[in-house]
Amino acid sequence: MSQSESDALVFFGATGDLAFKKIFPALQAMAKRGHLDVPVIGVARPEWTVDQFRARARASLEMHGGIDPVAWEKLCGLLRYVSGDYSDPATFQALRKALGAAQRPAHYLAIPPQMFASVVAQLERSGCAKGARVLVEKPFGRDLASARELNRILLESFDESAIFRIDHYLGKRPVNNLHFFRFANEFLEPIWNHRYIESVQITLAEDFGVQGRGGFYEETGAIRDVIQNHLFQVLTNLAMEPTVSTGSKSIRDEKVAVLKAIPPLETKDLVRGQFKCYRGEKDVAPDSRVETYAAMRLEIDTERWQGVPFYLRAGKCLPITFTEVVVRLRRPGNLYRDLNLKPNALRLRISPEILFALGMNVLGPDEQKPGQSVEMVACRQHGADEKAAYERVLGDAMEGDATLFARQDYAEEAWRIVDPVLKADTPVHEYEAKTWGPKGFEAIVSPAGGWHNPS
């Protein structure tokens, strides 16, 4: 083990849904690859024994991916459990004892943000913060002010270099592939600018609703839930300038530079929608004005992107589930301009499959149709042995690789962009489930040529 690698993993909220659905499967996968050989200490309120905690982990694996006998035996031997209230010093004294000789623990706060202050303070007082890292789940606040307050709390006990703000979306390999795609293909750079690109659209569509999580969605909505984090990460990967190295600082510097160049979102460049019957969901207010759909238009005030609109949209209960980028190039201005040909386009699908498509114009089949648009498509499914998002982000955090994590300035810049519309009383337009958004209103922020809506 290197001197920078964490020598214990502590995760608060160990009996919660996130741990059950995502964290235990990720830990087993890490153990299977030989990437986990340190104590894993769960901390939660239920007064369980370690055997009950292990039973919970086993039930999780049986339901989410299955049990690998060898990896499970290894993980089971690493599991520890501390029960207690997060505001009780005795809980953290017990944690300090459970850590034993560990000097560089990673504390993963898989708990609501309102509990962070108490836990961080107790980690500091008990000595558990010394030499440690802290991992926190999104959302990093609800707006700019709360994000700044959250960062203030974390920075009182941890250096910025020891804070890992998790957006599991960055753990997905296809999202990482956007950066590789940008800078490993030399043919892109000459056209990757406002001279050739007319618009960029990014879509995250889901064909399901809130799935019983109405209370959570009432506190978030589509903008907070996926746009200012997930889709902004996609945007910065697409729009960033070349980095001087593949080191985490260079990459994160350039991502922050993109956000700093985006003016605050204006209400005229936003459409919010709510699928019909959302207000009938459990724990949803009968007069709720929370958006389950949002589409917006942003601009990046740099030389490269001057005048190029970036269109982002996300929504629930849409016709299909997919995440995709469409980069439309300017229309041809050559001797075939009278044929009204479609602009060339690059289409990058991130999920459910990984797809690259190049839209181009070719000679048509007959004299009546002299030109037609076709796509050249390369596609592959996700690899069977590919790391899941939480396996990657937990492993990177424990190794001290900060590339996939949001820095303080990134988190605050992302909130700065959407803050004005979060505070504004903008209308929410109803839309039918399994449609592409509010009828008529979607066009207010629709790209030239319209959104690409796959069937």
Provide the annotated active-site residues: 230
Chain centroid to Cα 237, Å, comes to 12
Q: Residue 111: what are its φ and ψ, rounded to 5°?
A: -135, 165
CA distance 274 to 338: 42
Q: Residue holding tokens 């009950």?
A: 52
Cβ neighbors of 173 (< 8 A, separation 6 or more) are 382, 386, 387, 392
Q: Residue holding tokens 């399901």?
A: 208
Q: Residue holding tokens 């996968």?
A: 29
Compute the Cα dihedral for 420, 426, 432, 436 and give only its sign: negative
Biggest alpha carbon–alpha carbon distance for the chain: 83
CA distance 155 to 376: 49
**How many other C-beta atoms can be found within 10 angstroms of the C-beta atom of residue 129?**
21
Is residue 14 within 8 Å of 44, Cβ to Cβ? yes
DSSP tag of 139: P
